[in-house]
Amino acid sequence: MKLFVKNLSLDVTADQLLEAFEEHGWVDSVDIIKNGNTGESLGFGFVVMSTSADAQKAVTGLNGKELFGSIIEVTEDRRDRSERREFEERRSSKPRRKLSDRRADHSNRRDEENRRHDL
């Protein structure tokens, strides 16, 4: 089960967050969201727990608690991937593309715009 963690201290590392959540169950992954330009934390992230029981323990144990100088908020991520995928497939008949393909298209489009602007 994927958990959304917000109000993280900007200094928290993924390893520190992993240790805090491992006290409540088995953790599959930890992802702290960072600014793409500066690499600095944006103060929130996601933790994937292996079972919903472990996730509920983590929510109960960590929500509203101080962690590394900030009172964090831990909730279940409402945008579960499978639900989002089903929604997108119903919304569009186009086949889904990988994120890497979409990024490549976007950077190519940006290069074309820059070339046109330079002329």
Kindly report the CATH number assigned to the domain that includes residue 54.
3.30.70.330
> Tokens 């100088």 belong to which residue?
69
Clarify whether residues 88 and 66 are in a common domain.
no
Residues 6+ positions from 88 with CB-CB distance below 8 Å: 96
pTM here?
Answer: 0.65
Clarify whether residues 62 and 6 are in a common domain.
yes
Clarify whether residues 74 and 27 are in a common domain.
yes
Residue with more model confidence, 63 or 86: 63
Clarify whether residues 16 and 70 are in a common domain.
yes
Clarify whether residues 65 and 86 are in a common domain.
no
Structure tokens at 113: 């715009």
What's the angle, vertex CA 26, arms to CA 22 and CA 27, rounded to 5? 75
40-81: per-residue pLDDT in tens?
Answer: 999 999 999 988 899 999 999 999 999 889 999 999 987 755
Amino acid at 28: D
Clarify whether residues 65 and 95 are in a common domain.
no
The pLDDT of residue 47: 94
97-114: per-residue pLDDT in tens?
Answer: 555 555 556 555 555 555
The pLDDT of residue 29: 92
Clarify whether residues 57 and 70 are in a common domain.
yes
Clarify whether residues 14 and 54 are in a common domain.
yes
Residue 97: give the domain boundaries.
Answer: 82-118
Clarify whether residues 52 and 26 are in a common domain.
yes
